Structure 1
């Protein structure tokens, strides 16, 4: 009898613990929203807010996309939200492993809300982008751009960096390098100050540049530069490494070292603090840095300027067919 009582008590205690843990972690579906303080984390919360989904309506997993994709594959994560290039290798790998990836569209109302409350813009992922799609996907996009330190990047150096990004892009083997064209060169530049050297190059090529021109606090050509990218598991680090190599091969006397970082916010903060010369970033936090808003409230970055567009970073929301989830509307 005593053994039965102890067993019963253990079961009850276990149920209580499960209930408490569930309450602490939130209810509903498990959603990967990106690492803390990342741009993915910020836009994920904005997307869920657009649907009226509160913190108590789901359990948040603050994972990088590679780990999140593993969680989706294992069934521990129901939905993963990522800001990725197209096509995203991690999504293609997930489909290869599971064979039942489903990508979710955003509603028109949600897109309108996101556009009104951020710098993200509507974007259509066409059906031919992934083999598993059976229709176009409506979502939002930001742009990966290059920002330069106006205390260390002279006008002539800014000119050469912008020129090489466009004219030597064919030497870059990374899939996202196909977006570094003259036609795309100013995407993501809206409302950002532009580096005067970059402006001169683009205008020589016939582009109209309406951005405010940044003031430089440097006149000499700096030979050794540090480029902030992102984590080794993401797009920024390998792509930035190739860009750095191309600069080094095509700009006389230049030595650019790419370094692994936490990406956008860290890169912009490092430029502000004088620890970095160039940084890859999403254009949305770059606007926050310039305006002293968002993650940069009270810590405005006044010494950075736009040099060039890199590639579109598209919000991609994935689940699996066996989850039964058809839309984020179902999570309310």
Structure 2
């Protein structure tokens, strides 16, 4: 009898262990963006807005291209990306998988995100992608170009800004259509502006109220080879940056700009700060943090970066697949 009772207790304990193991196995795999990227930062803010802590999911710090591959393969349940609209990588994922679902953010979550960041509510129209059946509620920021004030002199800053606007029609990337004069100062609020860019925009009739950055760069010491940090190959930055670099090289005499694959915003700003990069694409939110010495840049103000121009609106886009049966971040709780 004692032996039988002990056996029953062992079976009960085994059942408890199996249940606990199963619960631990329900953690979802979420791609939150590469380390030192703005995607990584905003992903954590989004998850925190839903009360989802670090221990409640398995983080994959992949580029968006690698993350999309993981979603297609079933190794990643949710991928969070800051991308242009529409994003070719999401269109490719739908073409391959056929069952992409885009997640909306709740009004409550959006309010919390706005309070903790510079992101604002944004509606993705349902006609943005063939697979959408309704509008998607999310948040957005701006992709901008920042220049190193130690290497980009006034005349060069002028030419870079001018080329971005006047030659955008030759840029075949979908997001290049956003590089219009009327959008040129989007994302500039609170940032020091490069004096060359300011001069160009004022010549075109824009009012520029920003603080003007001080330059140590001079035309006499200008480098002919410039490094331009964009982002990962699976995202929007890298291919768009490649076309921007090609047009600068075509229209600015004696200049050769090399587009570099990077972890995007935070890495680009940090590398400019270290003097190892001349131009960098970034979301405007980390650019503000860099100038003010906040968040990833706490105690490490970036003093040698200045706004050159707006590139395109950055939209947070969160995708999964129908087979995951995830319809909201609430399903992860």
TM-score using structure 1 length: 0.89
| Structure 1 CA distance for aligned equivalents of residues 292 and 143 of structure 2 | 18
* Deviation of 1:16 (Å): 7.2
Q: Which residue of 2 aligns with 1:73?
A: 72
Give the 3 Å change call, closer, same or farther, for CA 168–46 of structure 1 in structure 2: same
What are the residue-to-residue correspondences of 1:11-50 with 2, within 5 Å? 23=24, 27-50=26-49
What are the residue-to-residue correspondences of 1:67-106 with 2, within 5 Å? 67-106=66-105
* Deviation of 1:234 (Å): 2.7
* Deviation of 1:27 (Å): 4.8
Q: Which residue of 1 aligns with 2:266?
A: 265
Give the 3 Å change call, closer, same or farther, for CA 67–261 of structure 1 in structure 2: closer
* Deviation of 1:321 (Å): 1.8
Give the 3 Å change call, closer, same or farther, for CA 285–129 of structure 1 in structure 2: same
Q: Which residue of 2 aligns with 1:155?
A: 154
| Structure 2 CA distance for aligned equivalents of residues 62 and 224 of structure 1 | 31
Q: Which residue of 1 aligns with 2:320?
A: 319
> In terms of mean alpha carbon deviation, does 268-277 or 30-39 score higher?
30-39
* Deviation of 1:154 (Å): 1.3
Please list the CA deviations of residues 227-254 of structure 1 after superposition, one character each: whole Å capped at 9, or x if unmatched: 1222233322221121111111112222
| Structure 2 CA distance for aligned equivalents of residues 308 and 324 of structure 1 | 41
Please list the CA deviations of residues 295-332 of structure 1 after superposition, one character each: whole Å capped at 9, or x if unmatched: 11122110110000111221111112222222222222
Q: Which residue of 1 aligns with 2:129?
A: 130
Give the 3 Å change call, closer, same or farther, for CA 60–260 of structure 1 in structure 2: closer
Q: Which residue of 1 aligns with 2:139?
A: 140
Conserved 8 A contact 1:177-1:311: yes
What are the residue-to-residue correspondences of 1:1-332 with 2, within 5 Å? 23=24, 27-220=26-219, 222=222, 223-332=224-333
Conserved 8 A contact 1:83-1:313: yes
Give the 3 Å change call, closer, same or farther, for CA 67–226 of structure 1 in structure 2: closer
Structure 1 SS opposite 2:59: strand
| Structure 2 CA distance for aligned equivalents of residues 18 and 181 of structure 1 | 57
| Structure 2 CA distance for aligned equivalents of residues 18 and 173 of structure 1 | 54
Structure 1 SS opposite 2:177: helix
Conserved 8 A contact 2:120-2:140: yes
Structure 1 SS opposite 2:90: helix
Please list the CA deviations of residues 80-103 of structure 1 after superposition, one character each: whole Å capped at 9, or x if unmatched: 111111111111111112221111
* Deviation of 1:79 (Å): 1.6
* Deviation of 1:68 (Å): 1.9
Conserved 8 A contact 1:31-1:79: yes
| Structure 1 CA distance for aligned equivalents of residues 88 and 276 of structure 2 | 32
Q: How many residues are paired up? A: 318
TM-score using structure 2 length: 0.89
Which consecutive unaligned segments of at least 5 residues does structure 1 have? 1-11
* Deviation of 1:77 (Å): 2.3
* Deviation of 1:21 (Å): 10
Conserved 8 A contact 2:192-2:210: yes
Please list the CA deviations of residues 120-163 of structure 1 after superposition, one character each: whole Å capped at 9, or x if unmatched: 11111111110011111111112111101111111111111101
Please list the CA deviations of residues 242-291 of structure 1 after superposition, one character each: whole Å capped at 9, or x if unmatched: 11111111122222222222222221122111111111111111111101
Structure 1 SS opposite 2:143: strand
